[in-house]
C-alpha cells in the first residue's frame, strides 16, 4: 500500500474544534444564523418550505450557477461547477489536470490541501514562498526557479491563507507570465475575496486574465456560511466537464437546500449585506488582536493582514508550533493553527473575525500559557 499523506490541519480541526472552549482556528468570519440570513424574506422562507428534498442538479442549480458566473468577468453558467466546498473544487481540479509524475508549483505558506493531494497523487512539487520581510510579497526568484518547462499547474491562494496578503497587480502579472511561458494552468484559490480589511475594493480574480485559469470560490470564508458546504470552480467549459466527471465519483451533488440557500446568499440583493457583515467582523476584531500583540511585542510579531479574518503571527519562543498548539488545547482549551500546517514553523494562525468577548477571552488564555512558557 502506498504511504498516505494525512491532511494534518484538518486532522487537528476534526478532533478538537467542537470540543475546546475557544476555537480561534476558524478560517472565516463568525457564522451567520439561518434567521439572520433570511431576515425580512418571508417569500424565500416559503419557497424553502415548499422544496422537495430531492437531488439537486449535479453541477449546481441554474440560479446558483448564474449568480456565481456574475462574479467573474466574461463568465457564463457553463463555466461554473458547484462543489461540496472549495476543498472538493481543489481536489477535483488537480485530479482533472494532473497525473502521477507530473510537476506543479505551489505557493507557501498556504492551506496545504493542494500540497497533500499532490503528495498522494505522486506529483513532483516545487515551492515558492511569500516573503515576510517584504510584506509577504511573492519571492520572484523562487517563483522563477519553481516554474520549469515541465510545470503543468501553478497553485496560488489570493487573498492568501494564512497571511492575509493580497497579491498586487504586478505580482499577479508575474505569476501569469510564468504560467504563459511554460503553458501551465493557474489554480487560484480565491475563497477570501470579499473579506478585505483595508479596502472596500474586492480582490480581483485571476479568471479572465489568462486562458488557463481555474478559479475556486466558497461561501465559507467571506460569507459566514461554512455549514452549507458550497464551493465552486470557474474554468473553461472543457475543464468544467472534466471536473464534473470527478465530482460524480466523490459527492455527486451538494444538497438541494444548500443550493437554494447559496443562490439566495449570492443574489444581488443579499450578497452585499453578507460581504458588509464579514468586513465588520474583520475590522472590529483586528484592533483587539493588534492591541494584544502590542502588549507582548517581546514574543509576537505580525505583518498586518490585508484581508481575511485570520492573522499569521510569528513568535519568539523555544517551542515548535504544533507543540504550542497542542499545549493550548490541553492546558487552556483553546484551538489555534500551528504554522507547521502551512509549511512554516514559529508561526501560529489566529482567527479574529469573532464576537469581541469570545476573541478577548481566547487571547487571554493564550497569553496565560505564553507567560508560563517565558518563565521556564
Give the pTM: 0.96
pLDDT of residue 2: 72
pLDDT exceeds 90 at position 16: yes
Segment 195-234, tens digit of pLDDT: 999 999 999 999 999 999 999 999 999 999 999 999 999 9
Q: Parallel, antiparallel, or unpaired for β 231-234 and 80-83? A: antiparallel
Instruction: Reply yes or no on whether the pLDDT at 15 is more than 90.
Output: yes
Is pLDDT at 376 greater than 80 in this prediction? Answer: no
Angle 230-232-238 from CA coordinates, rounded to 5°: 145
Cell of 240: 468544467
346: confidence class by pLDDT, cuts 50, 70, 90:
very high
Question: What angle, rounded to 10 degrees, do the helices at 271-294 and 356-375 form?
Answer: 30
- Tell me the per-residue pLDDT of 111-144, one tens digit each, with 9 for 90 and over: 999 999 999 999 999 999 999 999 999 999 999 9
82: which strand partners? 232
Contacts of residue 294, Cβ cutoff 8 Å, sequence gap at least 6: none
Q: How do residues 29-65 score in pLDDT, each as one tens digit?
A: 999 999 999 998 999 999 999 999 999 999 999 999 9
pLDDT 10s digits, 178-187: 999 999 999 9
How far is residue 94's CA from residue 153's CA, in Å, rounded to a whole number? 8
Please work out, in degrees rounded to the nearest 5, the angle formed at the alpha carbon of residue 17 by the alpha carbons of 13 and 19: 135
Average pLDDT, the chain: 97
Task: Check whether 1 has a pLDDT greater than 60.
Answer: no
Q: How far apart are CA 93 and CA 29, in angstroms?
A: 26
Report, as an integer, the average pLDDT of 164-170.
98
How does pLDDT run across 252-288, given as a tens digit for each residue?
A: 999 999 999 999 999 999 999 999 999 999 999 999 9
State residue 235's pLDDT score.
Answer: 98
In Å, how far are 104, 163, 363 from 139, measured between CA atoms? Answer: 17, 14, 32
Average pLDDT rounded to a whole number, residues 155-175: 98
Which residue blocks in the chain are alpha helix, DSSP H? 8-16, 34-37, 42-49, 62-69, 85-97, 113-120, 140-146, 169-182, 237-250, 256-265, 271-294, 321-327, 356-375
CA angle centred on 96, ends 180 and 174, rounded to 5° = 20
Contact status, residue 142 vs residue 105, Cβ threshold 8 Å:
no
Phi, psi of 79 (to 5 degrees): -90, 5
Name the 3-class secondary structure at 137. Answer: strand
User: Is the CA virtual torsion 149, 153, 159, 161 positive or negative?
Assistant: negative
Return the percentage of the chain with pLDDT > 90, whole number: 98
Q: For residue 161, is the peptide bond before it cis, meaning its omega torsion is within 30 degrees of 0? A: no
| Cis ω for the linkage preceding 362 (within 30 of 0) | no
Q: Is the pLDDT of residue 105 over 90?
A: yes
Contact between 113 and 90 under an 8 Å Cβ cutoff? The reply is: yes
- How far apart are the C-alpha atoms of 323 and 328, rounded to whole Å? 9
For position 14, what pLDDT does the model report?
Answer: 96
Look at residue 74 in the predicted model and tell me its pLDDT.
Answer: 95
Write down the pLDDT at residue 151: 98
Which tens digit of pLDDT belongs to each residue from 290-330?
999 999 999 999 999 999 999 999 999 999 999 999 999 99
Question: Has residue 165 got a pLDDT over 90?
Answer: yes
Q: What is d(CA 70, CA 77) in angstroms, rounded to the nearest whole number?
A: 9
Amino acid at each position: 500500500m502506498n504511504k498516505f499523506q494525512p491532511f494534518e490541519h484538518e486532522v487537528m480541526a476534526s478532533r478538537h474544534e467542537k470540543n475546546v472552549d475557544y476555537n480561534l482556528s476558524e478560517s472565516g468570519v463568525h457564522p451567520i444564523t439561518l434567521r439572520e440570513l433570511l431576515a425580512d424574506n418571508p417569500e424565500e422562507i416559503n419557497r424553502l418550505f415548499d422544496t422537495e428534498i430531492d437531488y439537486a442538479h449535479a453541477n449546481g442549480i441554474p440560479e446558483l450557477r448564474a449568480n456565481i458566473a456574475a462574479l467573474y468577468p466574461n463568465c457564463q453558467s457553463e463555466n461554473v461547477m458547484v462543489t461540496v466546498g472549495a476543498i472538493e473544487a481543489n481536489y477535483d481540479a488537480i485530479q482533472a489536470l494532473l497525473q502521477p509524475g507530473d510537476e506543479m508549483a505551489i505557493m507557501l505558506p498556504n492551506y496545504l490541501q493542494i500540497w497533500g493531494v499532490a503528495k498522494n497523487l505522486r506529483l513532483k512539487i516545487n515551492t515558492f514562498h511569500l516573503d515576510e520581510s517584504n510584506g509577504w510579497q511573492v519571492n520572484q526568484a523562487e517563483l522563477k526557479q519553481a516554474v520549469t518547462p515541465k510545470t503543468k499547474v501553478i497553485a496560488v491562494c489570493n487573498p492568501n491563507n494564512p497571511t492575509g496578503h493580497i497579491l498586487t497587480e504586478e505580482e499577479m502579472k508575474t505569476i501569469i507570465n510564468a504560467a504563459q511561458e511554460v503553458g501551465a494552468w493557474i489554480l487560484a484559490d480565491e475563497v477570501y475575496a470579499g473579506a478585505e480589511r483595508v479596502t472596500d475594493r474586492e480582490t480581483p480574480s485571476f479568471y479572465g486574465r489568462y486562458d488557463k485559469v481555474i478559479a475556486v470560490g466558497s461561501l465559507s470564508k467571506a460569507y459566514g456560511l461554512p455549514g452549507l458546504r458550497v464551493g465552486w470552480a470557474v474554468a473553461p467549459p472543457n475543464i468544467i466537464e472534466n471536473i464534473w466527471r470527478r465530482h460524480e465519483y466523490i459527492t455527486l451533488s451538494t444538497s438541494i437546500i444548500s443550493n437554494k440557500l447559496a443562490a439566495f446568499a449570492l443574489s444581488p440583493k443579499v450578497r452585499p449585506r453578507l460581504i458588509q457583515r464579514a468586513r465588520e467582523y474583520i475590522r472590529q476584531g483586528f484592533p483587539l488582536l493588534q492591541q494584544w500583540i502590542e502588549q507582548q511585542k517581546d514574543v509576537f510579531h505580525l505583518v498586518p493582514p490585508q484581508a481575511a479574518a485570520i492573522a499569521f503571527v510569528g513568535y519568539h519562543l523555544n517551542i515548535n508550533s504544533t507543540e504550542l498548539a497542542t499545549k493550548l488545547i490541553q492546558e487552556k482549551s483553546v484551538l489555534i493553527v500551528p504554522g507547521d500546517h502551512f509549511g512554516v514553523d514559529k508561526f501560529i494562525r489566529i482567527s479574529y473575525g469573532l464576537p469581541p468577548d469570545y476573541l478577548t477571552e481566547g487571547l487571554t488564555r493564550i497569553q496565560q500559557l505564553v507567560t508560563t512558557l517565558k518563565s521556564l
